[in-house]
Amino acid sequence: MATHECDIVVVGAGTAGCYAGATAANAGYDVVVVERKSETEAGHIACGDALKGADAFPEAIPKSQLEPSFTNTDVDHGRFEIPQEDTVLEIPVPGELAVIDRWEYGRRVIEGAESAGVQFHYDTVVKDVTQREDGRVTGVRGKRDGDVQRYDAELVIDAAGALSILQDKADLADATFDTNVTYSQFCSAYREVVEVEEPVPWNDALVFKPTDRAAGYLWYFPRTETEINAGLGFQMTEEPMHLVDDLKADLRSRPEFDGATVEDKLGAALPTRRPYDSAVAPGFIAVGDAAGHVNPTTGGGIAGAAYAGKYAAETAIDAIEDGDVGEANLWEYNERVMDHFGARYAGLDVYNIFATAVDVDDLMGLLGALPATKLAEALYSGSANIGWQLKIRTALKSFGHWDLIYELYRTKRLADDLIDHYGTYPSDPRGLSAWQDERDSLMDDIYATTGADAKY
């Protein structure tokens, strides 16, 4: 058995893991990133390839390091195709947006972390978490080429992705760490990178299209005019979809894909849920997909992962310098996540819950009636202000959907209340239980209003 000692061990070489590693290494700490894939395959991750807000990413890995992976910077809106209403809804996307070559981006963030001084150990599959009797996590164990590899560290950062094995292996019963996590809070997705013969007419848009179920969707994101990331996913509360066959059927129905060839294909699971209530335990912090840091309505997770990695590393550094990596001394990480994007994502999760309880045809009719700019606000900020004039115009346009409009209005008010409650997130783990009780009461109102099954 080989034993490796470091200040911080990070499991997973994705966005969150690389930004965490780079942040700590830039501060002079000894960081090892353990990655199950080979050096050649590392960074190859199933993704929609849309990157939003890169101009405001943490500086640990400069934007200039990432820019060569930006393949289409002309996208500026979403194109919602609603076949049930014979409608196409154009929705502006606020902020900087690019479609990227995700594998090239993955290589670029790894290179950025290496430049900061991070060591990468590839081909290493983590099998277990090491802990002291008092519950503090002290490292991980894995295998590389059949040999056991042990990593001892002051702190472990879990960047191992959705439904991380580390959280199954660690004993978190005495911590505040969120264990209210099930597969049904996740989405199963599949995507292909497709080369077409002629430029697509929507090369400046992210294209979304519903499947025949409200909890399923298709996407077409143009990396270039002729290279398209095409994929689909479904919420795991639903009966499984035949992802490959369903995607191919839709591709065959679109004339722009005649004669297309498939360059790459990959599947994945991603969280479509609220962020973890707490993602810390003694000696342990979870980041990115491993902590639910994904916009639950769009699946966008790169920006949240980058900042979660930064916040985790900065909190870890302070805790190590204090000589105390206990839960209370790591709590600031939770606060920073909730303040930056966690509250917004929790509000957006309410609309995800709403969608699971609505007939897909009714939902598509409603989307076709909503003002595009206000729908964009709801998708990206978790809320939208609709004045009385817009309400009247929407009501007239949505004749036949008035009951649903009223349910959405009530749901929006509850989402706003939930976001406000996240603004009172406790500054100490001792306040978490009371905060959760009040939040869960708000969630009960949301389930009652939407008619949805309880998600948590």
Please say whether the beta carbons of 280 and 334 come within 8 A: yes
> What domains can you pick out in the chain, each with its CATH number?
2-69+101-181+273-341 (3.50.50.60), 184-271 (3.30.9.10), 345-450 (no CATH)
Closest CA to 427 of 326, 314, 315, 333: 333
- What's the residue count for the chain? 456
- Which neighbouring-strand residues pair with 128? 141
Helix (H, G, I), strand (E, B) or coil at 387: coil
Structure-token pair, residue 287: 């980041």
One digit per residue, the tens of pLDDT, for the chain of length 456 reads 899 999 999 999 999 999 999 999 999 999 999 999 999 999 999 888 999 887 788 999 999 999 999 999 999 998 988 887 778 888 887 778 899 999 999 999 999 999 999 999 999 999 999 999 999 999 999 999 999 999 999 999 999 999 999 999 999 999 999 999 999 999 999 999 999 999 999 999 999 988 876 567 899 999 999 999 999 998 888 777 888 999 999 999 999 999 999 999 999 999 999 999 999 999 999 999 999 999 998 888 999 999 999 999 999 999 999 999 999 999 999 999 999 999 999 999 998 898 887 765 555 555 555 554 545 555 555 555 545 444 444 444 444 555 666 777 889 899 999 999 999 999 999 999 999 999 999 999 999 999 999 999
Q: CA triplet 166, 172, 177: central angle to 5 degrees?
A: 90
pTM above 0.75, yes or no: yes
Please tell me the distance from the alpha carbon of residue 165 to that of residue 88, in angstroms, as a whole number.
41
Other Cβ atoms within 10 Å of 111 Cβ, number:
15
Dihedral sign of CA atoms 413, 416, 420, 421 in order:
positive
DSSP run (H or E) holding 91: strand 87-92
Please tell me the distance from the alpha carbon of residue 359 to that of residue 177, in angstroms, as a whole number.
35
Structure-token pair, residue 327: 């839960």
Query: 324's torsion region: left (phi>0), alpha (psi -120 to 50) or beta?
Result: beta
